[in-house]
Structure 1
Amino acid sequence: MSTPAYRRILLKLSGEALMGDDPYGINEKVVERIVGEIAEVSGLGVQIGIVIGGGNIFRGIQGAASGMDRATADYIGMLATVMNAMALSDAFRRHEVESRVLSALRIEQVVEPYIRARAIRHLEEGRIVIFAAGTGNPFFTTDTAAALRGAEIGAQIVLKATKVDGVYTADPQKDPTAKRYHRISFDEAIGRNLAVMDATAFALCRDIKLPINVFSIFKPGALRRVVMGEDEGTLVHS
């Protein structure tokens, strides 16, 4: 296939993906590699929205588990995603790729507020849009933010970047006989209790028939192969 299979995508990046082998924080070499692959796909004419997590800095659910108020912990986690989004945007600048950070929390001194029409305009003008601060509400994960923003911007697919190159019948690190699903329906994934995304995000994607492709962001060239419609990762579809 010589042209991309998708015109507009929503890429979900976990905060942990930015750590590399570090115990926490942002590994600049890892960010440079990831941004380079995203920039390559953008150069194909694909419009890209990115939802970034904050688990490399702070995870709200862990803060709540240690006794912190859950809503407060989630807001701290949202601020962590803003920091990650700014780091990504700066890396895109070094690659001479235009990007904009749109935050669900209003921090206008450093990033733009999220406005749906503004996000779509940026995409149509060829800029990469990085959605920060999740949905702007506690008790909702960045997986749910990815499903929501994907629906709002009219993305054709949600690409969930993980450490594993797809969805397997079992944990491939524990079970050497585990097989990767190339394609699987939403109903099959639910019936087999496969942890593709959190339940709220998964249900939203299923209900609006927004497919999900789970792939490894650590596998060189995987993002491009997914966008080109090749057999990479696992496609979850209606």
Structure 2
Amino acid sequence: MNIKTLSLGGSLVSPDGVDVEFLGKFNRLIREYLEKDTQRKVIIVVGGGAPAREYQQAARTLRSDVHNDELDWIGIAATKLNAQLIKTMFYDLCLEPVVQNPEIDAFSQGRILVGAGWKPGFSSDYDAAVLAHRFGSEILVNLSNISYVYSADPQKDANARPLKNMTWGELTELVGDSWTPGSNLPFDPIAAKFAREHTLRVIVANGKNIENLESILLDKPYEGTLIH
């Protein structure tokens, strides 16, 4: 069985309202990929996107002493909404409920498994990493609105350069080792620790580039950052 695991950034699903055009292209690609080989399966874990950050910011405004766990639960609720939309889109291929606990739910039927956030303390990247490890995915594909991990924030540093290959230690130097609700990082530090401990490889790529995602799924040359 060939199982690919995708961490689908909420910024792709709902950057400012649901991006139906992107989802239509993503839908067609995944269906075509699965149709070509009956041994293929796909796990898709969905992030919270703009709704998560908007509601988290509202909570911070309404209450100055709001706890990080409370903010995480808000983000998790947003991931569940996005994940339910993805499950609905793949209604005939995703036959199980949206996975909310990656440690106990099984992938026993259907060709697609859709997951959402689990519990406070990390992002949906962590849930994707756990599922990738459980079901033997050699590579976890982290899809967002950036094409590479950069040496610095390119919006703040004109000298920031794209990195095509890096170690987990190098990523930790960039993103730190702790999680803050609503953080906009190339990969969750807690997920990075799990991936490092379980020798997972992660590709960070721009999900908007559907042709590039197809290349990744087919193990062809691609644009993105390989973390190992």
TM-score normalised by the chain length of structure 1: 0.76
Distance 1:7 1:63 in 2: 42
- Structure 1 pair 65/152, CA: closer, same or farther in 2 (3 Å)? farther
| Equivalenced residues, count | 212
Alignment of 1:46-195 (within 5 A): 46-59=40-53, 61-62=56-57, 65-66=60-61, 67=63, 68-93=66-91, 97-100=92-95, 101-104=97-100, 115-116=104-105, 118-119=106-107, 121-122=108-109, 125=110, 127-132=111-116, 134-135=117-118, 137-173=119-155, 178-191=160-173
Distance 2:122 2:166 in 1: 25
> Does structure 1 conserve the Cα–Cα contact (< 8 Å) formed by 2:122 and 2:191?
no
Residue 179 (structure 2) aligns with: none
Report the RMSD for the aligned CA atoms in angstroms: 2.8
Shift of 1:146: 1.6
Distance 1:235 1:149 in 2: 19
Which of these residues, 198, 206, 210, is aligned with residue 216 of structure 1? Answer: 206
Residue 16 (structure 1) aligns with: 11
Q: Deviations over 1:173-230 (max 9, x none)?
A: 5556543222222223334558541211101101100000000011131111112222
Q: Are positions 1:228 and 2:223 aligned together?
A: no
Q: Are positions 1:42 and 2:37 aligned together?
A: no
Distance 1:161 1:221 in 2: 13
- Structure 2: runs of 5+ lacking an equivalent: 177-184
Residue 109 (structure 1) aligns with: none
Residue 108 (structure 1) aligns with: none
Distance 1:152 1:188 in 2: 25
- Structure 1 pair 185/71, CA: closer, same or farther in 2 (3 Å)? closer
User: Percent identity of the aligned residues?
Assistant: 26
> Does structure 2 conserve the Cα–Cα contact (< 8 Å) formed by 1:102 and 1:114?
no
TM-score normalised by the chain length of structure 2: 0.79
